[in-house]
Structure 1
Amino acid sequence: MALWRAYQRALAAHPWKVQVLTAGSLMGLGDIISQQLVERRGLQEHQRGRTLTMMSLGCGFVGPVVGGWYKVLDRFIPGTTKVDALKKMMLDQGGFAPCFLGCFLPLVGALNGLSAKDNWAKLQRVSWAAFLLFTVLFLFLRLAVVQCVAVIWNSYLSWKAHRL
Structure 2
Amino acid sequence: MLKWYQARLAKRPLLTQAVTTAVLFGAGDVLAQQAVEKKGFRNHDVTRTGRMVLYGGCVFGPAATKWYGFLQKRINLSSHNATIAARVAADQTVFATCNLAFFLSSMAVMEGSDPKEKLEKSYWSGLKANWAIWPAVQAVNFKLVPLEHRVLVVNVVSLGWNCFLSYLNSS
Which of the numbers 55, 59, 66 marks the counterpart of 1:61?
59
- Write the distance in 1 (CA, Å) between the matches of 2:164 and 2:115: 22
Q: 1:107 to 1:32 in 2, by over 3 A?
A: same
The yes-or-no answer on 1:115 pairing with 2:114 is yes
2: CA distance, partners of 1:117 / 1:11: 37
Task: Report deviation, 1:153.
Answer: 0.4
Give 1:96 deviation, angstroms: 1.8
Query: Aligned-pair distance for 1:47?
Result: 0.7
1:157 corresponds to which residue? 165
Q: CA RMSD in A?
A: 1.7
The CA deviation at 1:20 is 0.5
Partner amino acid, structure 1, of 2:97: P
Q: Distance in 2 between matches of 1:78 and 1:140?
A: 17
- Counterparts of 1:125 and 1:97, CA distance in 2: 12
User: Which structure 2 residues correspond to residues 13-162 of structure 1 after superposition, within 5 A?
Assistant: 13-78=11-76, 81-128=80-127, 129=130, 130-131=133-134, 132=138, 133-162=141-170
Change (3 A) 1:126 1:107: farther
> Is the 1:10–1:18 contact (alpha carbons within 8 Å) kept by the matching residues of 2?
yes
Q: Which moved more, 1:46-55 or 1:113-122?
A: 113-122
| Pair 8,115 (structure 1): closer, same or farther in 2 beyond 3 Å | same
Q: Deviation of residue 124 (structure 1)?
A: 4.0
CA distance in 1, matches of 2:159, 2:83: 25
Equivalent pairs: percent with the same residue?
Answer: 30
Are 1:8 and 2:6 counterparts? yes
**C-alpha spacing 1:100/1:48, structure 2 compared with 1 (3 Å):** same
Pairs aligned (count): 161
Distance between the aligned counterparts of 1:24 and 1:102, measured in 2? 19
Greater helix percent: which structure? 2
Question: Structure 1, unaligned stretches of length 5 or more?
Answer: none
Indicate conservation of the 8 Å contact 1:102/1:123, yes or no: no
CA distance in 2, matches of 1:16, 1:32: 24
Structure 2: runs of 5+ lacking an equivalent: none
